Amino acid sequence: MAKKTSETKSKKSESGPSEDGAAGPADAAAEDKASKLAETVAAAREKAGAVAGDTLDSTREGLKKAWEQTADFAGEQTKKAQESLANVDLEKSTKATLAAAREAMQTVEKTAEDLTEKLKDFTKRHESEVVSGKLAEEKQMRLGHLAYLLFALAPVTFVSGLFGLILCYLRVGHEEVGGTVLRSHLRWLILTFWIGIGTLLVALLAAWAFGRFVGGLVLLAAAIWFSYRLVKGWLSLYDGKKIASPNALW
């Protein structure tokens, strides 16, 4: 029993502090290990904090670059989209312009065709009018020459003069003769006939009153005047000219 007590005391003296309060060798080693472990933990924390900071900075840098690249890519795509839309608008505008130009050309061609047809019709009508006008003019000219011929034969046969006078009266007021060269000649011939008849009567009166010689002189003067008017008027008709003063004596 005494032996166990001594062993127990020896173990207490080896493992625990002495009764006077001084630390033993085991407690010093434990404290060293605890301090080293604390230093290791602190170093690990510092290292982990540094690694975490570097990782956070790298992550921020990566996100920033990724954002910038995304923004650049989005800008490029937007620019391309705008260019595409502009090209599409330009293409649409070009197509619309070409379509409008085609319609304008078709309208111009149709207008040209219409004008050509109208010009052809006008030309045909004008040619027909010219032809009919020429025919009417030739007809009037023949009528005028016939009237002058009947008047020229009047000294030989008085009946031809009457026929010429009737012809002149029938045609002088006709619509086809109004405003033409022939009308002035018809009026010229009518006046010539009546003045000729008047001078013939004067010649007969002069012959009865003053003798045949005086009557012959008056008749000769009347014949010269009559011939002058016939020649003047006939030449004017031949040249296609009207008588300027149909009511004049000369």
- SS in 3 state form for the chain? CHHHHHHHHHHHHHHCCCCCCCCCHHHHHHHHHHHHHHHHHHHHHHHHHHHHHHHHHHHHHHHHHHHHHHHHHHHHHHHHHHHHHHHHHHHHHHHHHHHHHHHHHHHHHHHHHHHHHHHHHHHHHHHHHHHHHHHHHHHHHHHHHHHHHHHHCCCCCHHHHHHHHHHHHHHHCCCCCCCCHHHHHHHHHHHHHHHHHHHHHHHHHHHHHHCHHHHHHHHHHHHHHHHHHHHHHHHHHHCCCCCCCCCCCC
State the total domains in the chain: 1
Kindly report the number of other CB atoms within 10 A of residue 11's CB atom: 10
Count how many Cα atoms sit within 13 Å of the Cα of residue 249 in the half-sphere of its side chain. Answer: 7
Q: Does a structural domain hold residue 154?
A: yes
Range of the domain at 172: 138-238
Q: Does a structural domain hold residue 118?
A: no
Q: Does a structural domain hold residue 169?
A: yes
Q: Does a structural domain hold residue 18?
A: no
Q: Does a structural domain hold residue 96?
A: no
The model's confidence at residue 15, banded by pLDDT at 50, 70 and 90, is: very low
- As a whole number of angstroms, the distance between CA 114 and CA 106 comes to 12
| Per-residue pLDDT tens over the stretch 190-246 | 999 999 999 999 999 999 999 999 999 999 999 999 999 999 999 999 999 999 898
| Per-residue pLDDT tens over the stretch 57-89 | 776 777 677 777 777 777 777 777 677 666 656
What global pTM score does this model have? 0.49
- As a whole number of angstroms, the distance between CA 226 and CA 195 comes to 9
Q: Does a structural domain hold residue 37?
A: no
